[in-house]
Amino acid sequence: MIEEAKISGYQLGMLIVGFVFGSSVILNPAAVAYQDAWFAQLLAWLGGFVLLGLYVAIYLLSPEQNLIETLREGFGKYLGSLIGLFYIWYFIHLASLVFRDLGEYMMTVTYTETPLVFLIISFSLPIAYLVKSGIEAIGRTAEITIFVIPISVLITVVLLIPNYDFNSLQPFLEEGLTPVLEGAFNNLSFPFGETVIFLMLFPALNEKDKLIKASSLGLFVAGVLLITITLRDIMVLGSNIFRRAIFPAHLSTTLLPAEIDQLIAINWLLGSGAKITVCIYATVKGLAELFKLNSYKLLALPTVVLAVGLSLWSFDDLIGLLRWSSEIYPYYALPFQIVIPVLLLIILLFKRYLR
Amino acid sequence: MFRKLAGIYNYLKHKSQDYFQSEQPQEEESEQEKVPRDIQKVKQKLAETFADCSDFVLRELKIGDDSQFKVILAYFEGLTDHEIINNGILDPLMIESKKIGIDRRHEGELIQKIKEEIINVGEVGEADTFTRTVEELLAGGTVLYIDGQGTALKFDTTAWEERGVEEPQTESIVRGPREGFVESLSTNISLLRRRIKNANLKFKVLNLGVQTNTDVAIGYLAGIVNEDVLKMVEERVQRIKIDAVLESGYIEEFIEDSPFSIFPTVGSSERPDKVAGKLLEGRVAILCEGTPFVLTVPYLFIEAFQSSEDYYNRPYVATIGRSLRFLALIITAALPAFYVAVLTFHQNILPFELLLNITAAVEGIPFSPFFETLVLGTAFELLREAGVRMPKPIGQAVSIVGALILGEAAVEAGIASHPIVIVTAVTAITSFILSPLLEPLIFIRLFLLVAANTLGFMGMGLVIITIFVHLVNLKSFGVPYLAPFSPLSGMDLEDTLVRFPLWAMLTRPRILAWREEEGEKYRLDANLIKKEE
Amino acid sequence: MLKKKIILGIIILSILFSTTACWDNENVDDIAFVTGIGFDKSEEGMIEVTVQLVVPTFLQQREQGSDEEAFWTISFEEETVFGAVKGMLSTVNRRLFRNHIHIIVIGEDLAREGIIDVLDFLERDHEMKKNAEMLVARGSTAQKVLQAQSNLEDIPSIHLTDIMENANQLAKLKQKDLITLLREINQQGQSSVIGTVQIVGQDGKDEPAEEADNGEEALLLKDMIVEGAAAFKETQLVGWLSPPETRGYLFAQGEVIDGIINIDNPHDREQRVSIEVRSAGAEPEVELKDGEPRLSIEVWATGNLGEQQGAGNLTTQSDFAELAKELSALIEEEIREVVDLAQQDYEADIFGFGELMRREHPDYWQQVRGDWEQEFSQAPVEIEVQTTIRKPRMIRMPTRPK
């Protein structure tokens, strides 16, 4: 399937920033490590580079191919397609999780009376429109919107300086390495390992030589932002409140001297929007690839509707969602993020060099 | 209904060209008949064609030594210059023709003789087909039909009342030329030629409008213009087949990229200096007979923020102006929605004292902020419309009465609150800063208002993102509408939010007229740049 | 495709239109702004919540000279705080909007029983502003404090908040906001200190208090004094700190920004000299010696000569050194007093030594975390104060008749 529209390296980087920032900033997955959450996040971030390197290597070994095509090449037509189907499920499930995260967040902190369905459907409409407009529009929309995220993070970090208590970061490794590793593991799978989805987007890049630079820079910026926010939250809230709050990043923005927390919330909206958009795009692209359709654009709306439905039906309550994202998700995502890509890389290396 | 509309749109976009191409030849054949040799037939035909045309003048004359040649002189009163016709055509025909001795022997070379020895008008031509002569008559020419000849003579006697070149009404500036385009195409072309004295400035003249036969000129600077854009413009303009082209707006609607978008993708200006600047950046201008508004394409979003004055003032001033315009865009689009969102969703965002003041002011108003904003916004649009339609002195009175007295009275009567009057007034004033976006902004304001009343800031955010997606999808003649912001084009940012000094704007807009060749891409002397490097 | 697009657009718009003025959409004149909230223990053992509401219309009328009070207080008893806040809706016609709460007052009775139940609601509520200031009503109830009228401000809560900001210039009041309190409670082995408000001269010294509608005497804020502090052990009130003790506490915490300390004139012991302390800092330290904790507080402060009474010219280097020595001694004494109070009377680690221990000696901390208060009250505390006097302000020597 040949796609004319392309995205630039800068746009890809911005998409990665938005994707990684995404919903992981709302629900800090590293918070289990209390005041060492930043360290857990740092480890996860480094792991994220390794994983991204893995994905980029897979793409470079099978250039111009998206994940489904590469899977077919690696595992054969039938097994590859089957695994591809699983991946598509993972992508759409991811989209539904992010929908739910964002919906629950909005419903908890601002729109307490508004039904969840209405909130999620409201998010989904622009996203459906965006995916339907194609990858070029996705890239360019990211280009002109995502830059708001670093700016607003910087604003909050500066404005909260009077609230910082550096002592909150101590003692380092109080409970030993275990909670840190747990936090890092959670954080690696959410969001860093999720960048496996970009294997569906790499073929759309028009500046091939910029692939490594753009993607690693995007991951770098996203990691810096996440760690900055974690440090900020720990220092503002103290490690205990940071751990106990469901939405720590939101809680610390409510302490801003000018009460602009509602405006900062646009940030989370942008990040989650970027993440859902990438997920939906990867889903429709994969489906079109799998079933040999000429255009993926027709699938955009049905896929969004499916993701919205999934997000509403997956969990009954917020606690279920929290439990899922911190306890089950890392193991659920493991095969998609690490096991299959590693296998794929080995097979591809074998095919390329040992034949 | 939508299916029908969409059908028409698709038809215009894709199929119209083939359709008209296949249709056209037949039409032309049937009408391309020769000028009849028999003068009586000519007379009859003219009478048929111009029945009930009271300003049509038909004079039967007899010329030659002994008045042996019957001729018909035809013209339109009002489109032609009496003096030229009297002194240059009638006089010589009736007097000179007798003196130089034309008789039967000269029948073969009669036309030649009249042309060369009798008539003293500057531009003389021949026309073989009747249709051509009719066109000429309508364009203000005078036509001489001669008995027994298959060809008519046409003289350029065009002269109609014109408005002098005046200062444009719509785009007034402080510093810069005071000239504006007028209704005459040739004057407009000359206004541009005076600014760009360059043989590369080309004007291709077309004839549009099946009924009106309006002259339309496509102007561009060869060597700078993007050939693809030019080709696209020509194709689209030629494709237009409608009854009338009364204003350039008619053309605009037919050549737009996205006819359903609320954003304009074709620019228009009344200022020759502005159009000249756009031509120099590689754009194509479309001039239309009968209107002072000249279209320029491709039209980008950023152009709404650029004023020709920006380039006449020093860069700092221009930069401040640009920033103010961006601020105005945000205020005029989002202020009412922001007000509604704050009052109905996000009461905590205001400082407490301000919030208390606003609450005290709103207290007792029976309507919701949303409804109030909507009503006052509509009232303002009505006032604006009234101000435009009314004669100027009354229009001003209406604005003052409307804005000052009605607003104050509404507050006094407890129908509207003070803050909402302030919000509406600020929105209204800032909306005039971005006149090219006046209409789209009305829609955006409304969308945002509804979204703000439904989901507060989040609703506004969603609408803004949707508008962004729409803008990203838009193209004007193949050029992305949001360029140079998206796709990001670093070099073109020199003329956006910040206006660089003229000497620092090295290249022509990359997105419009990119040339790889060294000599062609710089605005400045390429040698100078090399030396600096 | 286009048709679908347009129909979709119409559906979106119609959804938006049909749902306008629903759900969270709440006009600003349908909500009542709560500026202050207070908690007391009622006689039946329930929680009595008092809120101070602003009446914006009266606020505007007061500016034009009306006598109508711009605020309104209402109390409600319920088993839970949330229940009480909702229960008030049977009296108040508007929803209570909690995002502009400036001040949280806790009555003494409730504070003695423990404030943890009250704090849960404040922390859990999405609308509650987490940086509202906290006060304990010493010897009275939160209700009385919130009902008091102010002569300077239309809204008493703002008056109280402004006073608490004055604490920076006075060093007699422990300022604490909700989020800091929550942080401290969550920290292991730390007890909190909250500022207090006290009713004095209730029977009216200069002016008889205004008659309120119900016949009871309405209090005035000028009859109240906001200073001193309440010491908590975990979340229970255990005792009070007087203003000098509060200052000692603030010195130990390094929180003195500006304060006046009166000491003896070295040339004339009968007379006083006032020193303006402009910047102060403190560093508490913990160390372990033979497995026993040893605590120390190092304090440094600089001040200016603010006022001199009595004979002599104090603007000399040696006198400045003498003054500094006296100042140090006084500060040390004040700190010592509050340390003794905390160790012996309250057995509450209000200085945060436990938290420091946790950070610096985590192994030891693990052993004693259960009975740290015990350990704390027996540990020796060393206090070291260093001060310098910098400037005599505007004059070289005092005016004296020749």
How much is the average pLDDT of C179-195?
Answer: 87
Q: Rounded CA gap, A110 and A19, in Å?
A: 23
* B400 plus B456 within the same structural domain: yes
Q: Which amino acid is at A59?
A: Y
- Predicted confidence (pLDDT) per residue in B321-379, tens digit: 999 999 999 999 999 999 999 998 888 888 888 888 888 888 888 888 888 898 888 88
Residues in A touching C369 (Cβ below 8 Å): none
How much is the average pLDDT of A283-308?
Answer: 90
Asked if residue A4 has pLDDT above 70, the reply is: no
Please name the member of A114, A125, A254 whose beta carbon is closest to the beta carbon of C24.
A114
* C211 plus C349 within the same structural domain: no
* Contact assignment for C20 to B370 by CB distance below 8 Å: yes
Domain count along chain B? 4
What band does B470 get if pLDDT is binned at 50, 70 and 90?
A: very high
Instruction: Read off the DSSP letter of residue B158.
Output: B
Q: Rounded CA gap, C351 and C252, in Å?
A: 8
* C139 plus C211 within the same structural domain: yes
How much is the average pLDDT of C42-46?
Answer: 86
* B252 plus B365 within the same structural domain: no
Please name the member of C2, C16, C33 whose beta carbon is closest to the beta carbon of B451.
C16
Please name the member of C17, C24, C97 whose beta carbon is closest to the beta carbon of B450.
C17
Residues in B touching C129 (Cβ below 8 Å): 348
Is residue C360 less than 8 Å (CB to CB) from chain A?
yes
Question: Is residue B224 within 8 Å of residue B5, measured between CB atoms?
Answer: no
Give the 3-state DSSP-derived string for B319-366, with helices as H, strands as E and coil as C.
Answer: HHHHHHHHHHHHHHHHHHHHHHHHHHCCCCCCCHHHHHHHHHHHCCCC
Residue where a domain terminates, one of C208, C241, C274: C241
Residues in C touching A108 (Cβ below 8 Å): 126
Question: Is residue A20 within 8 Å of residue A223, measured between CB atoms?
Answer: yes
Give the 3-state DSSP-derived string for B214-262, with helices as H, strands as E and coil as C.
Answer: EEEEEEEECCCCCHHHHHHHHHHHHHCCCCCCCCHHHHHHHHCCCCCCC
Residue A310 has a pLDDT of 92
Q: Is residue B325 part of a domain?
A: yes
Q: Is residue B8 part of a domain?
A: no
What band does C14 get if pLDDT is binned at 50, 70 and 90?
A: low
Please name the member of C19, C26, C57 whose beta carbon is closest to the beta carbon of B360.
C57
Q: Rounded CA gap, C32 and C54, in Å?
A: 7
Q: Rounded CA gap, C192 and C182, in Å?
A: 9
Half-sphere exposure of C246 (CA within 13 A, CB side): 25
3-class SS at A41? helix
* Core vs surface per residue B350-372: b (16+ CB within 10 A) or e: bebeebbbbbbbbeebebbbbeb
- Predicted confidence (pLDDT) per residue in B74-102, tens digit: 888 777 888 888 888 888 888 877 777 66
* C149 plus C277 within the same structural domain: no
How much is the average pLDDT of A135-142?
Answer: 91
Q: Which amino acid is at B47?
A: A
Domain boundaries, chain A: 9-349
Residues 6+ apart with CB under 8 A from B475: B257, B258, B265, B481
Domain count along chain C? 2
Residue B118: name the closest of B61, B166, B159, B188 by CA: B61
* B354 plus B274 within the same structural domain: no
Complex confidence, ipTM: 0.92
Residue where a domain terminates, one of C215, C241, C267: C241
Mutate: best of A140, A148, A254, A256, partner B, most B CBs <10 A: A140
- Predicted confidence (pLDDT) per residue in B114-137, tens digit: 888 788 877 888 888 888 888 888
* C176 plus C134 within the same structural domain: yes
The more confident residue out of A208 and A97 is: A97
Residue B14 has a pLDDT of 56
Question: Is residue B480 within 8 Å of residue B509, measured between CB atoms?
Answer: no
Q: Which amino acid is at A131?
A: V
Query: What pTM does this model have?
Result: 0.87
Among all residues of chain A, which has the CA nearest to that of B455?
Answer: A111
* Contact assignment for B469 to A129 by CB distance below 8 Å: yes
Residue C215 has a pLDDT of 43
- Predicted confidence (pLDDT) per residue in C225-254, tens digit: 888 899 998 888 998 998 888 989 999 888
* Contact assignment for A125 to B459 by CB distance below 8 Å: no
Among all residues of chain A, which has the CA nearest to that of B454?
Answer: A114
Q: Is residue C1 part of a domain?
A: no
**C178 min Cα distance to partner chain A (Å):** 11
Cα torsion for B140, B142, B147, B152, to the nearest 10°? Answer: -70
Q: Which amino acid is at C235?
A: T
Question: Is residue A229 within 8 Å of residue A88, measured between CB atoms?
Answer: no
φ and ψ at residue B167, rounded to 5 degrees: -70, 135
Q: Is residue C298 part of a domain?
A: yes
Number of C-beta neighbours around residue C374 at 10 A: 11
Residue where a domain terminates, one of B249, B270, B299: B299
Q: Is residue C18 part of a domain?
A: no
Question: Is residue B454 within 8 Å of residue B276, measured between CB atoms?
Answer: no
* Contact assignment for C16 to B454 by CB distance below 8 Å: yes
Residue where a domain terminates, one of B104, B139, B155: B155
Average pLDDT taken over every residue of chain B: 83
Residue B24 has a pLDDT of 45
Question: Is residue A212 within 8 Å of residue A12, measured between CB atoms?
Answer: no
Instruction: Read off the DSSP letter of residue C301.
Output: E
Residue B51's domain comprises 39-155
Instruction: Read off the DSSP letter of residue B157.
Output: -
* C255 plus C235 within the same structural domain: no
* Contact assignment for B466 to A129 by CB distance below 8 Å: yes
Beta strands in A159-281 (DSSP E): none
Q: Is residue B308 part of a domain?
A: no
* B360 plus B464 within the same structural domain: yes
Look up the CATH number of the domain holding residue C385.
Answer: 3.30.300.210
Q: Rounded CA gap, C161 and C150, in Å?
A: 12
Residue C112's domain comprises 27-241
Q: Is the CATH number 3.40.50.300 carried by domain A9-349?
A: no
* C143 plus C205 within the same structural domain: yes
- Predicted confidence (pLDDT) per residue in C97-118, tens digit: 888 899 999 999 999 988 988 8
Please name the member of B352, B362, B450 whose beta carbon is closest to the beta carbon of C29.
B362
Measure Cα distances from C343 to A339, B348, C337, C351, C377 in Å: 59, 43, 10, 10, 4
Q: Rounded CA gap, B178 and B172, in Å?
A: 8
Residue A135: name the closest of A204, A218, A197 by CA: A204
Q: Rounded CA gap, B513 and B222, in Å?
A: 11
Retrieve residue B204's tokens: 């291709």
Among all residues of chain C, which has the CA nearest to that of A133?
Answer: C5
* C109 plus C191 within the same structural domain: yes
Among all residues of chain A, which has the CA nearest to that of B487?
Answer: A140
Question: Which residue is it, tokens 């001199």?
Answer: C308
